[in-house]
């Protein structure tokens, strides 16, 4: 079975994009990874309408990517903060890979607005692909794709 | 300047998502990375309308992520194939990172439909974050983010 003969019905990239593959969802995650937690902060920082933001947060919470935690400011009603779960943090390599590509190809001449480095040694981060055997970083040519056990033919 | 005080106007993740942050664009890239090149093959495999596919391909070509190469089958008019440029292939870590997360959290019990491994040793691939100093894989806690030289205050 070639890739073209393989059904995309149970493709895990497609299912992932069904959850987070919308620009504003990924930008909510970007802000969450940078410490943003409150509805109004997301809204103001991203310049997003309440309705769109609420919808994206609902999807991310339903997917277990964000969790809600109650907080209460003096004299105000209880509200919720949004915090990344472990499942949410596991999208960090996706975010760093997007940033790496963007820093290379879309930054203004003076550079990107955010500089992310290894806390210990101060060197910049890189998103790379390695193998479980300890080899890498790998290039696409060094990778071999074949149908997995769950591959189904296009019907 | 904290992240919340930083303008998202020149954010390189946001600019990247302006180019590829739509589900079908990323799925076109998924298919392209698996060797799909022709309009009708993309369309049939992804179950996508001609109009949406044509729009996504146009954006990706305009961004220099895909290139068009003419081909001609006997007795038919010249058409174009779509091939990833170097710039397009540099999105490979994004795709592997999305697949890794999807394989972990969205696969059917029998697994994902596509199995990607290191050609030389046969071990499965991993998308990881390392630093230019040779340390890693890193976790988000080991990363430190600060405003870059191009950071602008929210106006």
Domain presence at residue A147:
no
Instruction: Indicate the average pLDDT of chain A.
Output: 96
C-beta of residue B10 within 8 angstroms of C-beta of residue B154: no
Across the range B100-115, mean pLDDT stands at 96
Query: What pLDDT is attached to residue B155?
Result: 78
Q: What angle do CA A70, A73, A76 make, to 5 degrees?
A: 95
- Asked if A70 has any chain B CB less than 8 Å from its own CB, the reply is no
pLDDT exceeds 90 at position B1? no
**Residues of A (106-135) whose Cβ lies below 8 Å from B:** 106-108, 110-133, 135
CA-based nearest residue in chain A for residue B92: A140
Q: A43-58 pLDDT, tens per residue?
A: 999 999 999 999 999 9
Across the range B121-136, mean pLDDT stands at 96
Domain presence at residue B155:
no
Domain presence at residue A37:
yes
Q: B62-88 pLDDT, tens per residue?
A: 999 999 999 998 999 999 999 999 999
- Asked if A45 has any chain B CB less than 8 Å from its own CB, the reply is yes
For the record, the structure tokens of B67 come out as: 């290139």
- For chain A, what is the domain count? 1
- Asked if A142 has any chain B CB less than 8 Å from its own CB, the reply is yes
Across the range B82-104, mean pLDDT stands at 98
A34–B26 C-beta distance less than 8 A:
no
B interface test, pick of A10, A64, A97, A147 with most B CB neighbours within 10 Å: A97
Q: A105-150 pLDDT, tens per residue?
A: 999 999 999 999 999 999 999 999 999 999 999 999 999 999 998 9
- Asked if A140 has any chain B CB less than 8 Å from its own CB, the reply is yes
pLDDT band of B24, cuts 50, 70, 90: very high
A92–B146 C-beta distance less than 8 A:
no
Across the range A25-50, mean pLDDT stands at 97
| Element holding A129 (H helix, E strand) | strand A125-131
pLDDT band of A1, cuts 50, 70, 90: confident
pLDDT band of B38, cuts 50, 70, 90: very high
Q: Which chain A residues are closer than 8 Å to B111 by Cβ?
A: 148-150
Domain presence at residue A85:
yes
Domain presence at residue A149:
no
Domain presence at residue B15:
yes
Q: Whose CA is closest to B15, among B153, B150, B155? A: B150
C-beta of residue A23 within 8 angstroms of C-beta of residue B60: no
Query: For position B130, which CATH number holds?
Result: 1.10.10.10
DSSP per residue, B96-128? HHHHHHHHHHT-BTTB-SEEEEETTT-PBEEEE
CA-based nearest residue in chain A for residue B102: A12
Instruction: Indicate the average pLDDT of chain B.
Output: 96
Q: Which chain A residues are closer than 8 Å to B22 by Cβ?
A: 21-23
CA-based nearest residue in chain A for residue B109: A150
- Asked if B81 has any chain A CB less than 8 Å from its own CB, the reply is no
Which DSSP symbol is given to B76? Answer: S
Residue B19, CA distances (Å) to A108, A120, A128, B13, B82 in order: 16, 33, 21, 10, 17
Rounded to an integer, what distance in angstroms lies between the CA atom of residue B98 and that of residue A139? Answer: 17
pLDDT exceeds 80 at position A155? no
pLDDT exceeds 90 at position B115? yes
CA-based nearest residue in chain A for residue B130: A126
- Asked if A7 has any chain B CB less than 8 Å from its own CB, the reply is yes
Domain presence at residue A107:
yes
Tell me the residue range of the domain where A29 lies: 3-142
Domain presence at residue A96:
yes
Rounded to an integer, what distance in angstroms lies between the CA atom of residue A93 and that of residue A85? Answer: 15
Provide the b/e sequence for A106-141 (b: ≥16 CB within 10 Å).
Answer: bbeeeebbbbbbbeeeeeebbbbbbbeeeebebebe
C-beta of residue A100 within 8 angstroms of C-beta of residue B133: no
Residue A55, CA distances (Å) to A23, A81, B54 in order: 13, 15, 28
Other beta carbons within 10 angstroms of residue B98's beta carbon come to 27
Across the range B128-143, mean pLDDT stands at 96
How far A52 CA sits from the closest chain B CA (Å)?
A: 16
Q: Whose CA is closest to A70, among A85, A53, A82? A: A82
- For chains A and B, CB pairs below 8 A equal 327
């Amino acid at each position: 079975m070639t890739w073209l003969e393989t059904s995309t019905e149970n493709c895990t990239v497609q299912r992932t994009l069904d959850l987070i593959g919308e620009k504003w969802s990924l930008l909510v995650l970007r802000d969450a990874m940078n410490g943003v937690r409150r509805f109004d902060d997301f809204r103001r920082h991203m310049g997003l309408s309440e309705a769109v933001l609420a919808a994206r947060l609902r999807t991310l919470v339903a997917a277990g990517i964000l969790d809600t935690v109650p907080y209460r400011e003096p004299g105000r009603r209880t509200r919720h903060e949004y915090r990344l779960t472990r499942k949410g943090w596991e999208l960090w390599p996706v975010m760093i890979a997007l940033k790496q590509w963007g820093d290379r190809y879309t930054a203004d001449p003076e550079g990107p607005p955010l500089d992310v480095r290894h806390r210990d040694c101060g060197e910049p981060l890189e998103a790379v692909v390695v193998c479980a055997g300890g080899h890498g970083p790998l290039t696409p040519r060094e990778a071999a794709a074949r149908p997995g056990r769950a591959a189904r033919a296009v019907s």
